[in-house]
Amino acid sequence: MDIDALRAQTPGCTGRIHLNNAGAALLAQPTLDAMTAQLRREAEIGGYEAADQARDAIAATYDAIAELVSGRREEIALFDNATHAWNAAFYSVTLRPGDQILTGRAEYGSNVLAYWQAARRAGAEVVVVPNDEHGQLDVAALERLAGERTRLIGVSHVPPGAAWSSPPPGSGGSPAAAAPCTCSMPPSRSASSRSTWTRSAATC
């Protein structure tokens, strides 16, 4: 990665050290140009017409993201923000009475609200997996807790406010592979790639 080139194409880097990148990073010039040009086109010819004109560029975005995550373009869905993307995946999981959702102590707040809401409606249960001695998700405890009733394991890969990452679903030692559904958030994103939150693994 060419740090100087990346800084050079990020106007906000001039005269500022900006460390608040977890939720929204500084925009890079190419992103700014693409977004403002599209808005201008929408103002001139209408939103649907502008979308039509951008069809090839939009298709290329799906291809590029699919390549980045070693997936297929039809597995990629773009959303306007992480919460919306995550909710779309989570609420597609049908919960039945007695089902369990396993999650970690550092799970992202809006994800937990969705767990509680959906669990209450379905008569399911939210079970919080304890942390290990290092203060991160205890994978052994997760393995013990995961069972017949586990319908979903939902963990943020790198939760905000935690200096660690949980094992991604399906990785060595992670029992997440055994659950019918797993939802995990990728580590971080920037405002210039807000929609790449859709890399969230949601497999059922």
Ligand X SMILES: Cc1ncc(COP(=O)(O)O)c(C=O)c1O
Residue ranges that bind ligand X, judged by CB under 6 A: 22-23, 81-83, 108, 156, 159-160, 185
| Distance in Å, CB of 23 to ligand X, minimum | 4
**Element housing 44 (H / E):** helix 29-45
Comparing CB distances to ligand X, the nearer of 50 and 162 is 162
| Distance in Å, CB of 81 to ligand X, minimum | 3
Both tokens assigned to 127? 């079970």
| Distance in Å, CB of 92 to ligand X, minimum | 17
Comparing CB distances to ligand X, the nearer of 93 and 185 is 185
Dist CA 14 CA 37 (whole Å): 23
- The size of the chain, in residues, is 204
Both tokens assigned to 84? 């919306």
Comparing CB distances to ligand X, the nearer of 65 and 185 is 185
Per-residue burial over 65-86, b if 16 or more Cβ lie within 10 Å, else e, is bbeeeeeeeeebeebeebbebb
| Distance in Å, CB of 22 to ligand X, minimum | 5
- Put the strands of the sheet holding 100-104 in their side by side order: 125-129, 100-104, 150-156, 181-185, 201-203
| Distance in Å, CB of 13 to ligand X, minimum | 21
Dist CA 182 CA 104 (whole Å): 13
